[in-house]
Amino acid sequence: MSNFDVLALNIYLLAIFTLLIKSKTITKIYRFLKLLNFILFIYLIVIIFTENIGIIDILIKGIPLLILIATVDQTEILILLKKVGLKKSSLFINTLEDNIKIELIKSIDHLSGKQIGALITFEKNTSMDEYITNSFKVLAPLNSELLSTIFYPNTPLHDGAVIIRKNEIVCAGAYYPTTERLDIPKQLGSRHRAAIGISEVSDSLTVVVSEQTGNISVAIDGYLDQDISKESLLLYLEKHLQT
């Protein structure tokens, strides 16, 4: 086997492994694997241009590999396409889940920059009906403008949580039981404690924006990851919410 064949095979195996374990490993490892996939693919392109690789090999092995890598990194690619003004592409289909993630990132970026507190929960398998019942029903498609407006200070619903089900903002002004753990840092406010609390009794993913600092945190499975970047938030959404 040539260097091209060996490298292509290893990238195939790594990309498939990355997709298979994305819901079973921590976000930092998943992020590292995605980066490693991308670096190896760039190296493969270098080999194509520096060695005498036949056009048949490129078409048969390279094109499917390109599609597989695009699948692994589809969210980042879609956001990049939007930034350069390409809203649609014949190569990449913007799925429902990707639309949600892109709109959420835009809203979180806005709220974080303005230091506007927010509590946003994504329902997964555990039903959130118990909390939806006692909240204000919205039942509107998720978009960044609506989501940001809900949390603006002095509006009726800004203190509670927004619950999102698939592509829809189901409700706003939802209230959760706060965690009873004693090891929570004292500087964390009621939003963070509520986020941990709901993550202890459901499999939901909750995003918190601090109104004191603008920092972004994510609560899932009873764990709070504090002060994360937008890139890390994107990986959380991709890992836990993308089907």
Alpha-carbon torsion (225, 227, 229, 233), positive or negative: positive
Q: Spell out the residues 6+ positions from residue 229 whose beta carbon is closer than 8 angstroms to its own.
A: 216
Per-domain boundaries in the chain: 3-72, 96-241
Distance CA(119)–CA(194), nearest Å, equals 9
Output the pLDDT for position 147. Answer: 94
- Are residues 164 and 120 in contact, defined by beta-carbon separation less than 8 angstroms? yes
Domain 96-241 fold: YojJ-like (1 (3.40.1700)
- Are residues 135 and 160 in contact, defined by beta-carbon separation less than 8 angstroms? yes
How does pLDDT run along the chain (243 residues), one tens digit per residue? Answer: 677 778 888 877 877 777 676 655 555 676 677 778 878 888 888 887 777 777 887 777 777 777 777 766 665 665 556 556 554 444 444 444 567 778 888 999 999 999 999 999 999 888 899 999 989 999 999 999 999 999 999 888 888 999 998 889 999 999 998 888 877 887 888 999 999 999 998 989 999 999 999 999 999 988 899 999 888 888 888 777 765
Output the pLDDT for position 114. Answer: 94
Distance CA(97)–CA(65), nearest Å, equals 23
Output the pLDDT for position 35. Answer: 78
Q: Spell out the residues 6+ positions from residue 126 whose beta carbon is closer than 8 angstroms to its own.
A: 201, 202, 203, 204
Identify the CA nearest to 15 among candidates 27, 32, 2, 33. Answer: 33
Q: Spell out the residues 6+ positions from residue 215 whose beta carbon is closer than 8 angstroms to its own.
A: 112, 209, 226, 227
- Are residues 228 and 216 in contact, defined by beta-carbon separation less than 8 angstroms? yes
Distance CA(231)–CA(81), nearest Å, equals 16
Q: Which residue has the tokens 């200070």?
A: 153
Its pTM stands at 0.64
